[in-house]
Amino acid sequence: MSIASLPSAVTFGDAPSCEGALLLPVRGVRGGLAFAVQDWVAQEVPVALEFNGISHAVMLATPLDLEDFALGFSLTEGILDGARELYGLEAEPSPLGITVRLHVASAAFARLKQKRRSMAGRTGCGLCGTESLAQVSRELPVLADGMRLERRAIARAMSRLHAQQTLQQATGAVHAAAWCSAEGEVMFLREDVGRHNALDKLVGALAAAEVEASSGFIAVTSRASFEMVQKAAMAGVSVLAAVSAPTSFAVQTAQRARLTLVGFARQEDLVVYCLPERLAAAAEAGGCLAH
């Protein structure tokens, strides 16, 4: 239960469990009235990804679905060419955070070492050097044109996200990424304090379940950054719908990958930023939709 519901009292002993959140004492004022309750707060912990004994990345993430997260990150970052290159993984918690150790194929490990060499020019304040800039705009798959959706499918998916966001309902602090069928049914959903993490978890879940990701679309409860577009394209999904706005770099990246990018997808409304021909309503309107 979140602060928005203002429970009169919740005790640690009687409260139901909420995986991915901690029950903490809070005080505040709402509507001019003071309150003191126990409230669920989303967990955020350092998660280190280690490939064949080499530490590669540390992210702050919600400690849920870490197997999906590690697999999805490896796929969307181009380290793994497919789930078959992941031989096994284990997560080891410590007082400092969680280390996820991945055992990957030699080809994937060679790919990782090449990636690390190209990242050598990075600094704490950004990217420097031509190799680092090239890494940001790395080669993406050009997505096929076969997918075609009705506008109502996106509206249906967006309307059903909240009911499946259990951690968001409890904390009000996490993003969700969902894979939806062409009819707008929410088939897979993952949550995390980071929008990129939620999408990586979703991609990992799809890969583990051997789902043909290109047969549906992805809906996210955040803005659409270029990283979100990159990850959707790497997953082979040709339509990304976000509840908020995209950035200009996201639009450019979507155009390069031939991904249909939808923003401000709320109720029956949406804005198509590129490749409107995949959406029936947008194509019939000549692609001229505005928010």
Q: Which residues are catalytic?
A: 125
Contact 79, 112 (CB under 8 A): yes
Q: How far apart are CA 232 and CA 165, in angstroms?
A: 20
Q: How far apart are CA 256 and CA 232, in angstroms?
A: 13
CB atoms within 10 A of CB 72: 31
In sequence order, what are the residues at sequence separation of 6 or more whose Cβ sits closer than 8 angstroms to the Cβ of residue 222?
A: 175, 195, 198, 228, 242, 243, 244
For 33-56, give one letter per residue: b (16+ CB within 10 A) or e.
eebebbbbbbbbeebbbbbbeeeb
Written as one string, the DSSP assignment of 173-239 is --EEEEEEETT--EEEEEEESSHHHHHHHHHHHHHHTT--GGGEEEEESS-B-HHHHHHHHHTT--E
Q: How far apart are CA 259 and CA 246, in angstroms?
A: 13
Q: How far apart are CA 212 and CA 155, in angstroms?
A: 22
Contact 218, 202 (CB under 8 A): yes
Contact 3, 28 (CB under 8 A): yes
